[in-house]
Structure 1
Amino acid sequence: MPIYNEIESIPSLLSAIATTLQAEGLPYEIVCVDDGSEDGSAELLKQEAQRRSDLRAVLLRRNYGQTAAMAAGFHYAQAPAIVTLDGDLQNDPADIPLLLSKLNEGYDLVSGWRKNRQDAALTRLLPSKIANWLIGRVTGVTLHDYGCSLKAYRAELVADMNLYGELHRFLPALAFIEGARITELPVRHHARRFGRSKYGLGRTLRVVMDLATVFFMKKFLTRPMHVFGLLGLGSIGLGTLLGLYLTFLKLGLGQSIGDRPLLILVVVLLLTGVQLFSFGLLAELLMRTYHESQGRPIYRVREVVNRGAGSPT
């Protein structure tokens, strides 16, 4: 759970999680990541972690944002299944066993769907519906509710995902890039009891920029030359055709071309094409460095099945 100024919610949330999972007989650990809270949440989490054995408190040095807090939580989580949820009591811990049960059916990620969402219609629900539709169309992963923090993951899945910027809302799309099996499950959603939301309409532009990043990663992560090179060749080709046309006007018909705006366009297209093609080559080198320096393969294996005895696993 990423925590930012949720001191009123923390005791009730920890109690609800423990009660639910103990009733199900599930072994568990709660990992709370304080993202630079200023209301005493960090001190409360520290006290609770020293008092109880089922809580691990990770206190960040300053406010880095929800993506960084979730990345820290993934790093410190040790169980084979990881469930994320917000710290504001709007997600219901009673839904956690349902997500885990669905995860055990063979899925790698189970995303919660706040079917009856208890938020403001104009400032939260409408922008969310538009964003969910847009993200689904661009990424190819159709979910009703990308923004629901209540999700269940297999640990090996999140180990392959590096989070930057504000990519936490695109975790299903990033998981899809890694070849994950994804499904969605309706979950309960409660009205906020304490404080106020940290989100507003101002995040819309950031969502659009992050969406462009995810789209590029999905389509061209291992082959950036396919986009930059294609655009570069198109620009060079169009510039060449227009240049030949101007050459015909000059040499064939004897017309003056020095004062034609088309001549400037030809020069711009040729220079742009060369630059885009060069960007593609540089991007290819960066991608090779990215994969080879980290030892990251360009594929993911779900399982290996071999009938022979003594075969390597």
Structure 2
Amino acid sequence: MDISVVIPLFNEDESLPELTAWIARVMSDNNFSYEILFVDDGSTDTSWQVIEELKKTYPAVKAIKFRRNYGKSAALNVAFEASQGDVIITMDADLQDSPDEIPELYRRLKEERFDIISGWKKKRYDPITKTIPTKLFNAATRKMSGIQLNDFNCGLKAYRSDVVKTIEVYGEMHRYIPVIAKWAGFKNIGEQVVEHRARKYGVTKFGFSRFINGFLDLLSIFFVGKFGKRPMHFFGSLGVLSFMVGTIMALWIIGEKLYHISMNLPIKREVTDQPGFYIALVAIIVGSQLFLTGFVAELVTRNAPERNDYLIEKEIL
């Protein structure tokens, strides 16, 4: 199969018929073999009923329905596991991404041998409350990851199959898939300017909490990518540094007292009366704890194995 079009959705029943017909037309015009894989992320409208009806007209339609809303990352992770195409195209269900971009994404991925091609919505129709934070996130992600993409969060992306079968997506990490892929060894990452269309139906599901979650996930990706296989290098280095600073401070204070005693000089303050002594003591204790944390972290290579277990209510596969 040439292409799997992966579409996570939440309460998008109005746009699904038009989107499906559009994708089918593009695929037919380019003679692609394909599947359309919808993931209903716990919709409370009639999205699943619409998908069931679409299946009768379009045999390429497949779908997975969550019992509750888990988020876009969960939907993508499950869809990546179920996808069968050589190239996986992800896009949003709200008609803001154009299926007309698919042939060029497919061509470039095949001919130019990219691992990932990320869409860049150079001209956006989102409100300023969304575009400004997005620009800040993109700048921070470029700085921390070294990947020179203008739009990490664009939903329209193309992947080689082995990329999505290798990586794991959870939390709010869907916006950082290129970063996850890079840490997994897929470094040939390209970008393509794509059309961004104004929302035709419904309202955005974007919330302020995504800013906080996204920032925390960025820190998590950076830490896991850099120190995931060698946590002792992180915790141990901090622990040794803190322990050494505390020890040097304590030895200095004690040595100063011994010097006064040996030279019969008056002692102005006892060791325990000096704030520096307690700072040194805390630094030694914290350093020891960080060092021990490094040992424990070396034994833990992954989080709980059920992290990506989701309750699926129905499937059309």
Task: Give your verdict on TM over 0.5.
Answer: yes
The aligned amino acid for 1:214 is I
Superposition deviation, residue 257 in structure 1: 1.9
Matching of residues 61-210 of structure 1 within 5 Å: 61-104=67-110, 105-120=112-127, 122-180=128-186, 181-210=188-217
Superposition deviation, residue 178 in structure 1: 1.4
Superposition deviation, residue 50 in structure 1: 4.2
CA–CA distance in 1 between the matches of 2:129 and 2:43?
A: 24
What percentage of aligned pairs have identical amino acids?
A: 38
- Give yes or no for contact 1:123–1:201 (8 Å, CA) kept in 2: no
CA–CA distance in 1 between the matches of 2:86 and 2:54?
A: 24
Superposition deviation, residue 61 in structure 1: 1.1
- Give yes or no for contact 2:242–2:284 (8 Å, CA) kept in 1: yes
The aligned amino acid for 1:267 is L
- Give yes or no for contact 1:74–1:158 (8 Å, CA) kept in 2: yes
Superposition deviation, residue 124 in structure 1: 1.3
CA–CA distance in 1 between the matches of 2:152 and 2:168?
A: 18
Q: 1:122-142 CA deviation, whole Å, 9 max, x = no partner? A: 211111111100111011112
> TM-score under structure 2 normalisation?
0.88
The aligned amino acid for 2:284 is L
Backbone CA RMSD of aligned residues: 1.4
5+ unaligned residues in a row in structure 1: which ranges? Answer: 294-313
Tell me the equivalent position of 1:10: 16
Q: 1:18-45 CA deviation, whole Å, 9 max, x = no partner? A: 1011101111000000000011101211
CA–CA distance in 1 between the matches of 2:63 and 2:57?
A: 11
CA–CA distance in 2 between the matches of 1:33 and 1:202?
A: 22
The aligned amino acid for 1:182 is I
Runs of 4+ that moved beyond 6 A: none
Residue 31 (1) aligns with residue 31 (2): no
CA–CA distance in 2 between the matches of 1:170 and 1:252?
A: 58
Residue 212 (1) aligns with residue 219 (2): yes
CA–CA distance in 1 between the matches of 2:8 and 2:60?
A: 17
CA–CA distance in 1 between the matches of 2:258 and 2:170?
A: 55
SS at match of 1:57: strand
Residue 240 (1) aligns with residue 247 (2): yes
Tell me the equivalent position of 1:269: 283
Aligned residues: 289
- Give yes or no for contact 1:9–1:87 (8 Å, CA) kept in 2: yes
Q: Which has the higher contact order (CA 8 A, sep 6+)?
A: 2
Superposition deviation, residue 250 in structure 1: 2.5
CA–CA distance in 2 between the matches of 1:90 and 1:235?
A: 51
CA–CA distance in 1 between the matches of 2:63 and 2:53?
A: 9
Residue 257 (1) aligns with residue 257 (2): no
SS at match of 1:110: strand
Superposition deviation, residue 260 in structure 1: 1.8
CA–CA distance in 2 between the matches of 1:103 and 1:85?
A: 16
- Give yes or no for contact 1:124–1:200 (8 Å, CA) kept in 2: no
SS at match of 1:163: coil
- Give yes or no for contact 2:138–2:152 (8 Å, CA) kept in 1: yes
Tell me the equivalent position of 1:227: 234
> TM-score under structure 1 normalisation?
0.89
